[in-house]
Structure 1
């Protein structure tokens, strides 16, 4: 008989002592200040593109690392763009280093001799630190460093942004310019840090204070308390976008490529919005149940493990489970709820009542041993709940 994995190290707890979030605030300024910021943005873009050739020069030098890139290119950058200033030059090095670290994380090289991809910076955000931006005490205005002196900008946060600013400690930020048909707007993305209020896990933890969340394709999520979020509408829209992409890619014209980029952005934003709505509802359900722990599946490298046809792989790669889990994690931590990941093997095939192997057919689970009949995803979520609870009380994390 197959059993759920409750061995040492079968779960991991996500409980950092410091929590971080980013608040996006719209800026207002006069025309003169806007022109100075635009000039600074263009020079910052040129600096980032100038630094790319140093990163790609020799992959063995590992110049994508910030320290190495600074020593390799700083003085050449100051000679090429002296008007940029020393601090913005350092910030440009940081931006390029971060971009390449992200690229290597998302698309790792097969070997160390493989050449690095040349990243082109078209509209980069300007990284700002304590030397390049200063805030007023009431957070209504700030002064930003530009290549033509400091300019004053007005911050326009909403009520939600004000609450975040009041509760967190300001760290570094990014100045972002977003274009649209009417011109464009400036935004400030401020990183905030605040102390975690995570509950301490003890052996006195009750099973009712742990909830399991099973994520999937046909149902976005199922919670052990009995709630299910269906994915029918989301799948339908993603299938429509998939057909649209196929038609545009087969066309190949410039207009088709422009339409393809536009459609890709709309699909991505829609999926993120749905994940935000579902993750918020899950965390609210956990708070309503007075849960102290949310148990999620550790699906790391699941795409690499699957061996299936093109159609199945296409569906799997469109599954945004990791984004949903990350949203659940940070929303839960802000509510003081712990999040843990467990080994998901056999959680969808095991009966949550008697722990024997049962039969699953689409959304229906039937146990031939105890007679349990349940929604297959709800059964899996209750197995996750039980597995997480055992790992905690037995001290096997």
Structure 2
């Protein structure tokens, strides 16, 4: 069973600026991947990695190798939601012979992290940004700290609330590793940070 832990970050104005720059940079990488998905009809994570990784590393050296991988993951899971979910208006079955619509990612897009780009140790959070690591003190409840050690970390997502506060969401699970999380896909509703541009 999966559990979701949300932690608001007590960020200074300077840290908020750095987190926003990371969000904007992450969206740029996702928007560079989207036309490849549209043209090739490939959004499987591994296949998409082979198609795009090298060029993305050259195009976005400041993002680092692992954040590029996380952007590929983000586009892959968005592709599954938009093109495969039965409730999506852009489901392949509905599109028929029409070309795939183009995915466009807004700067408000959540940023995906993993154990290489974010770590939690003894109440200290260390996370990747475009200009070096950023650190926060985390006041975790004992049961949350225990979950980190006992459960598998499926996903780490940084998002910004409407009040401007950045929040980290940790999806923890008990099942076997390797299964991709489906945390924001249950109803097939396309998030507001994704625009789908239909081709005429």
Corresponding residue to 2:36 among 36, 39, 54: 54
1:135 aligns with 2:102: no
Distance 1:170 1:176 in 2: 21
User: More relative contact order in 1 or in 2 (CA 8 Å, sep 6+)?
Assistant: 2
Counterparts in 2 of 1:39-78, with a 5 A limit? 39-59=21-41, 63-78=42-57
Q: What residue ranges of structure 1 are gaps of 5+ in the alignment?
A: 1-18, 196-321, 324-397
From the two aligned structures, give the one with the greater helix fraction: 1
- How many residue pairs end up in the alignment? 168
Distance 2:27 2:105 in 1: 6
Q: Given the two structures, how large is their TM-score scaled by the length of structure 1?
A: 0.39
Residue 146 (structure 2) aligns with: 166
Distance 2:135 2:64 in 1: 19
Deviations 1:303-328 (A, max 9, x none): xxxxxxxxxxxxxxxxxxx87xxxxx
Distance 1:193 1:67, change over 3 A: same
Deviations 1:45-83 (A, max 9, x none): 111111100000132xxx211111111111221222111
Counterparts in 2 of 1:285-364, with a 5 A limit? none
Distance 1:118 1:143 in 2: 34
1:112 positional shift: 6.3
1:124 aligns with 2:109: yes
Distance 1:116 1:176 in 2: 27
Distance 2:70 2:119 in 1: 16
1:193 aligns with 2:177: no
Residue 279 (structure 1) aligns with: none
Distance 1:74 1:119 in 2: 18
TM-align CA RMSD:
2.2
Q: Given the two structures, how large is their TM-score scaled by the length of structure 2?
A: 0.75
Indicate the SS of the match to 1:100: helix
Distance 2:98 2:49 in 1: 22
Distance 2:31 2:23 in 1: 12
Instruction: Assess if the C-alpha contact under 8 Å between 2:152 and 2:174 holds in 1.
Output: no
Instruction: Assess if the C-alpha contact under 8 Å between 1:144 and 1:152 holds in 2.
Output: yes
Q: Which has the larger Rg?
A: 1
Counterparts in 2 of 1:6-155, with a 5 A limit? 19-59=1-41, 63-103=42-82, 104-105=84-85, 106-107=87-88, 108-110=91-93, 113-122=97-106, 123-137=108-122, 140-155=123-138
1:113 positional shift: 3.9
